Amino acid sequence: MTLEQQFNDLVRQNKSTIYSVCYMFSDNRDEVADLFQETLVNLWKGFQSFRGESAVSTWIYRVAMNTCISADRKKHRHAESLSMDLDLFAATKDRDTQQVQQLYGRIHQLSVVDRAIVMLWLENLSYEEIGQIVGISAQNVSVKLVRIKEQLKKM
């Protein structure tokens, strides 16, 4: 199997993971597509040098997160004002959907790192995996999640 075929298989198997990360950083379809493409470029650049010291999924999360965080920082440098009025589910008025909308609106108000931790936790990753991806200890992940949950309740 060629390197390109291996990469295509990797992307096909982990496409939803990459999109999940990208959606946490934008609610704009075009921007999500751009983040997805930029993540693929970064994954390709590092594909041959991936040493397997962590799980492939951890590496993919980390590359996707770093790509999105970098893009988010660039966007904020150039933005004069940032509106946090997200309207993710405007067409529906279902109570559960409104709660999801409210939750995501609150999550988008968190700092980039806190947003990443919550997103990974919502993906049911273990504290150890989250810590590896974000670069902190599992115990620190636990502490941060407690603080983040309290912060979300106060919003």
Per-residue model confidence as pLDDT tens digits over 1-16: 898 999 999 999 999 9
CATH 1.10.10 corresponds to the domain 83-155 = yes
Q: Domain ranges for the chain, please list them.
A: 1-81, 83-155
Other Cβ atoms less than 10 A from the Cβ of 152: the count is 16
112-122 and 56-78 helices, crossing angle to 10° = 150
Task: Give CA–CA dist 33/49, Å, rounded.
Answer: 25
Q: Which fold has domain 1-81?
A: Rna Polymerase Sigma Factor; Chain: A (1.10.1740)
- What pTM was estimated for this model as a whole? 0.66
Given this model, what pLDDT does residue 96 score? 63
Contacts of 56 (CB under 8 A, 6+ apart): 10, 14, 50
Task: Give CA–CA dist 47/59, Å, rounded.
Answer: 10
56-78 and 29-47 helices, crossing angle to 10° = 130
Given this model, what pLDDT does residue 33 score? 94
Each residue's pLDDT tens digit in the chain (155 positions)? 898 999 999 999 999 989 988 888 887 899 999 999 999 999 999 998 988 888 898 899 999 999 998 888 887 665 443 444 444 444 445 556 777 778 878 888 888 889 889 988 888 889 999 998 888 999 999 999 999 999 988 88
